[in-house]
Each structure stands twice: as structure tokens, then as C-alpha cells.
A and B are shown apart, each in its own frame.
Chain A
Amino acid sequence: MLAKRIIPCLDIKDGRTVKGTNFVNLRDAGDPVELAANYAKQGADELVFLDITATVERRKTLAELVKRVAHTINIPFTVGGGIKTVEDVSVLLNNGADKISINTAAFQNPQVITDIANTAGSQCVVLAIDTRQEEDGEWYVYLHGGRTKTNAKCFDWAKKAVDLGAGEILLTSMNHDGTKAGFALDITQQFSDALPIPIIASGGGGTMQHFADVFLKAHADAALAASVFHFKEIEIPALKTFLAKQNIAVRL
């Protein structure tokens, strides 16, 4: 049976792992390669590296870091941040990344999703969506690491991206990110139940029960979190044991 995935996310800035609350107030959280190796040892199912400075600073890739990570860990990892073209993707894959995630550039140029899918396969295209629920109750797409609001509703964009060839969706609720108050169950469930590709829920995981909820109630395929893992508030082996006891399939 396919297991639910636990994915620690490492936000990278200037080669260091950082973590903030609601996309600001960044704190140093250590060396990414060391953290990655440690997570792999603890039983993380996958890792995501997001260069949160990339879009603003137009920094192209994390090629060097990707190479070091690939030489260290034996589980899959996704790399995102500043990816705009098929060439950007090739550089990362050639350095050992398994998947790439694309966010702002895909929204601005949706064709790139198809271009990447056609050359590298849909399975390596993770569409990242940062979304915020506004006072009107609708979930809108935000760009540039959460700094730019659009008028697009996130579910509409996700549906379009699936048609264009996205292989997975990494859905981050900006309302929940950094709050440790639980994942955005409603929008995650809407995505999981209506879209034919895997959904990675992100933002808000603070307790082990929050992870159980996002799998059992919101039907997410994977759950991603950063600070609770970085600062060892939740240990992955204990989390997986907890989930297994609630009959959630996990890799132990």
C-alpha cells in the first residue's frame, strides 16, 4: 500500500537553512546538507529544498548544494526557487535532484509546465502554490514567496496546471504557515479529492495530531513541515509511530 509521506522542508537562504513565520522573520536553522542527512537517517520519506531568495534575487540555481545533498542522502529530494526554464531544470536534475518545484514562473508563463513535463516528465514537476484565504472566503494565489497577491483563485490555477502537465502540487496556506495551529484542512481536502495528482499539504503542522488530521480528514498524500522538525519539536520516528497507530500507512 502506498504510504503517506512525511517531508521536511528546508528553506535555503545564502546556503543556510532558515525558517520564519508567515514568510518573514527568518531565523538560522543550520547546514542544509547535515540536516538532510539527519532527516534521511530518521526516516523522512523525501526532502524539499526551497531557495526562498531565488525569485527576488534572480539567483538561478542551487546546483552546488544539490550536488552535495545528492552525494549524502539515499532518499528523493525536490528543489525549487528561481526555476524558470527547461534549462534551469536540466541543471538541477543533472546535479542529482529528483524533482523540481516551480511557482511564480509557472504562473507567469504556464507553458513552462508543459515544456518541462515534455522533456523531463510530469513526475518531476511539482507545482508549488502559495495561497491565502481573504476576507471574502476565497483562496487566492500569491507569488514571489508570498509577497505579491494575484486575483487568481488557487483551485482554478491548480486545475489548469494539472491539465498543463504538473505531476504534484505543493499547497502552502499562508494563513497557517508558521502558526503551528494545524494544516488548512478545507482547501487541502478540496485539492486532494478533486485533483488527480498527489497533494502535499504545507503550512501549520505543529503537533502529531495535525499530521494525522491532514491525512485522515483532508486526504493529503504527503505533509510537509519545516520548523517543527528543525527545532526537534516533533521527531520523525515518533511521528510515524503515532500515525501508524491510527492506521495511517507510513514507511517505518
Chain B
Amino acid sequence: MKLAIIKYNAGNIQSVLVALERLGVQAEVTDKAEKIKAADKVIFPGVGEASSAMNSLRQNNLDQVIKELEQPVLGICVGMQLLCEHSEENDTTCLGIVPVKVKKFQSGKELIKIPQVGWNTIYDLKSDLFKNVPENSYIYNVHSYYADDSEYTIANCNYGLEYAAAVKKDNFYGVQFHTEKSAETGDQIIKNFLELL
């Protein structure tokens, strides 16, 4: 199986690559359109700020490449947010693949710290991405922005409000949390993605 990790100016590419190596999976980190298109599966990582990440994609024409992918694609953290329509982070127009808005956490009635940092539980798990993952498993989060709950949600999480911890539309999957840093639960989700048809 050919696995591509999209290379652009965004943080956790190395963490994702290393996580795959720990699981004994080879992946190629690339910004070459033909290699990304030819891969069986694509991981779209991301840590950092949405508008500079989008600019980095556009500079390399990767925004168009990603939109046209037909194989399973997994966006992680900011990668997931960029799959969405728009992010409040510096008013960024994202890829628009999953028609969902990305908003900033607000401390309201329930006082919350922003960013959400740490281990929280996911529930209402709906896709093969969560095969063998028990309800209310802990996953690791580091984020100030979240995707709105919608018909595309395949896992929920609660931090001051209920939001989409994971989304799916067609062949595009996105997880807000860091699968590559979520201990055994994260490893299982990565394995599940690799086994998706």
C-alpha cells in the first residue's frame, strides 16, 4: 500500500510520520501532486495557524490537488479544520470539502481554558474509523478552534459545548484530536484508517 503524507508548512508532519513508523508502516512525505494522487491513502496533517497553512497549500497548488482526491484522506487537527469550509482563525477560507464551519472556543457559562489541552473522551462513534475503539475512549487534544456539530460528525466530544471530534464526507475523514499522540486508542484509529477500503 502506498501512503502519502502531504508536506506543507504545518507542524506535526514528523509526529505523524514517526507514529506510522512505530506501527511499522512506511509513508512518503511529499508535496508532489502526482505522488499524492497516486497514493492509496493520504494523510493530511497539521498543527499551527489556519491561514498560513492555507497559504502554504495554495502556493504549491495543493489545495486543488486535495479537493480532487478520490482515495481515503485523513485530516488531522488543523488538517481536519482545513477540510472544512471556513475557519474563524484569521478569517480563513478553507478547502470547503466538508461543509462545516470552524469556530473558536468561547468561555461562557461553563468556564473553559483555551486552548483545550489534554485528554478528553469521544462518544457516539459512527464510522469504521472507530472499529474496536470503545465509546468514551480518551484521546489527546490541543486546539482553540473546533468544527461545528453537523450531519457529517462521526464522533462527538464535549468541551464547554458539544462539537465534532471527527467528520466524514465521502472519502474524506477528519479528526480534531491527535491520533498520533493518543496512546493505544490513537494507534487503533490509525490502523483502522489504513484498513479502510
User: In chain A, residues 178-222, which have Cβ atoms closer than 8 Å to a Cβ of chain B?
Assistant: 196-198, 221-222
Name 5 A/B residue pairs within 8 A (Cβ), A-sorted: A76-B142, A95-B14, A120-B49, A196-B107, A198-B117
Cβ-based interface call for B92 (8 A): no
CB pair A74 B182 closer than 8 Å: yes
Known: A40-B183, A75-B140, A197-B114. A121 touches B12 (CB 8 A): no
> Which residues B36-75 have CB closer than 8 A to chain A?
47-49, 52
Chain A residues near B49 (CB, 8 Å)? 117-121
Q: Is B152 an interface residue (CB 8 A)?
A: no
| CB neighbours of A3 from chain B (8 A) | 118-120, 138
Q: What residues on A are CB-neighbors of B113 within 8 Å?
A: 196-198, 221
A98 sits at the interface (CB 8 A): yes
A123 touches B47 (CB 8 A): yes
Contact of A70 among B15, B107, B121, B140 (CB under 8 A): B15
Query: A169 CA to B189 CA in the complex, in Å?
Result: 30
Decide: B118 and A122 in contact? CB cutoff 8 A: no
A residues contacting B by CB (< 8 A) are 1-5, 40, 45-46, 70-72, 74-76, 93-96, 98-99, 117-124, 167-168, 196-198, 221-222, 251
**Does B101 touch A at the CB level, under 8 Å?**
no
Which residues from B are CB-within-8-Å of A124? 11, 47-48, 142
Query: Which residue in chain B gives the minimum CB-CB distance to A45?
Result: B119
In chain B, residues 1-53, which have Cβ atoms closer than 8 Å to a Cβ of chain A?
11-15, 18-19, 21-22, 47-49, 52
Taken together as a complex, chains A and B put the C-alpha atoms of A51 and B158 apart, in Å, by: 36
Which residues of chain B have C-beta atoms less than 8 A from A123's C-beta? 47, 115, 117, 142-144
> A75, B181: Cβ atoms under 8 Å?
yes
A4: which B residues are within 8 A, CB to CB? 118
Q: Majority SS of interface residues in chain B?
A: mixed
* B116 interface residue (CB < 8 Å to A): yes
> CA A121 – CA B9 in complex, angstroms?
12
**Could you tell me if B119 and A121 are in contact, using CB atoms closer than 8 angstroms?**
no
Tell which of B14, B114, B178, B180 touches A94, judged by Cβ atoms closer than 8 Å: B14
In the docked arrangement, what's the CA distance between A137 and B44, Å? 51
B22 touches A71 (CB 8 A): yes
Taking CB as reference atom, which chain A residue is nearest B90?
A: A118
Contact of A93 among B11, B78, B143, B182 (CB under 8 A): B11
A195 to B52, CA, bound (A): 27
Chain A contact residues: over half helix, strand or loop, or mixed? loop
Inter-chain contact A2/B159, CB cutoff 8 Å: yes
Whether A74 pairs with B119 at a CB distance below 8 angstroms is: no
Cross-chain contact A45 with B144 (CB below 8 angstroms): no
Contact of A74 among B78, B138, B184 (CB under 8 A): B184
**Bound state CA distance, A122 and B15, in angstroms?**
18
- When chains A and B are docked, how far (Å) is the Cα of A124 from the Cα of B117? 10
Query: Nearest residue in A to B9 (C-beta to C-beta)?
Result: A119
Closest 9 A/B residue pairs (Cβ): A121-B48, A251-B138, A123-B142, A251-B119, A3-B119, A76-B181, A70-B18, A123-B115, A96-B14
The distance from the CB of A27 to the nearest CB of chain B, in whole angstroms, is 30
| Nearest CB of chain A from residue B91's CB, rounded to whole Å | 15
B118 touches A71 (CB 8 A): no
Q: Complex formed: what's the CA distance from A168 to B113 in Å?
A: 10
Residues in A whose Cβ lies below 8 Å from that of B15: 70, 96, 98
Q: Please, which residue of chain A has its CB at the minimum distance from the CB of B178?
A: A76
CA separation between A45 and B120, bound complex, in Å? 11
Q: What's the Cα separation between A115 and B25 when bound, in Å?
A: 35
B186 interfacial contact with A, CB 8 Å: yes
A72 to B52, CA, bound (A): 30
Which residues of chain B are within 8 angstroms of A221 by Cβ–Cβ distance? Answer: 113, 117-118
Chain B residues lying within 8 Å of A197, measured Cβ to Cβ, are: 113-115
Which residues of chain A come closer than 8 Å to B22, judged between CB atoms? 71-72, 74
